[in-house]
Amino acid sequence: MQLHKIKEAFARYEAWLGTPKAEERLFLWESQRLFQENWDLDSEDLAGMYDRSLQNSTTRRYWFRENYEPKKVMLALMGVDREFVRSMFKDLFLESKGLTGRADRFVFHCDQLLSEFKRQNPRSVENNHYHNDNYQIISLYLAFRYPDQYTFYDHEAFKRLMVAVGSRDIPVTPDIERFSKVMRTLYGLMKKEERLMELHRKRLVAGRDYEGESLLVAYDFYHTTGHFFT
């Protein structure tokens, strides 16, 4: 990545933050707050806790839209083996282990549980758990659980960003480890842009949105920036 191109992208994003479009993805900060307030892997009612943790007053499209229902299926998988799902999330959130391994194990265990669900429910038309989606829903779990460490992964938007900032190594396939490292680097640089961060914080609503350190702004930045250069 080239620093001057990153700076140029920050300047364009800063200008964009002064427009009405800057509110397009604010709902994510609301969902992040709700997750932070409700997530508890020690809860006896795991399904109820999970359901309360993934909510939004405006949209559910990051976990429920046409042909994409990871939340619905995860709730069904909890009905197959609640304690196994609990252990899956504990492993996913165990920071002492490698990120790619954690993410890929989570998908593998979803495969296993879906097979068991199909065995127990032979008439079900459900054939997908939607967690093998290029790390999108897994990165959402991670971003909501550890706001200052992770953000949402959109592989195509990330590739556009890497082109925009002059990277010589554009990722062909999804790489959640590399993506997360790049996001932390960009967020560290972004925090030095005082006016940009001021505009970002001003759009958050106290009591509705998560207001702590959050790399969601890095997602908002790279998703927006990619379109500036297309």
DSSP characters over 98-164:
-HHHHHHHHHHHHHHHHHHHHHH-TT------S--STTHHHHHHHHHHSTTT-----HHHHHHHHHH
pLDDT in tens, 172-203: 999 999 999 999 999 999 999 999 999 999 99
Contact predicate 186/6, CB 8 Å: yes
Contact predicate 216/154, CB 8 Å: no
Whole-number average pLDDT of the chain:
94
pLDDT in tens, 62-110: 999 998 999 999 999 999 999 999 999 999 999 999 999 999 999 999 9
> pTM for this structure?
0.95
**Phi-psi region for residue 207, left (φ > 0), alpha (ψ -120 to 50) or beta?**
left
- DSSP lists the bridge partners of residue 65 as 68
- Give the amino acid at 146: Y
Identify the band that residue 1 occupies on the pLDDT scale cut at 50, 70 and 90: confident
Length of the chain: 230
Identify the band that residue 162 occupies on the pLDDT scale cut at 50, 70 and 90: very high
Identify the band that residue 125 occupies on the pLDDT scale cut at 50, 70 and 90: confident
* CA 228/CA 230 separation, integer angstroms: 6
Torsion from C-alpha of 92, 111, 144, 70, nearest 10 degrees: -170
pLDDT at position 230 over 80:
no
pLDDT at position 30 over 80:
yes
pLDDT at position 10 over 60:
yes
Place of tokens 């909501």: 144
* CA 166/CA 169 separation, integer angstroms: 9
**What pLDDT sits at residue 128?**
83
The structural domains of the chain, with segments of one domain joined by +, span 3-228
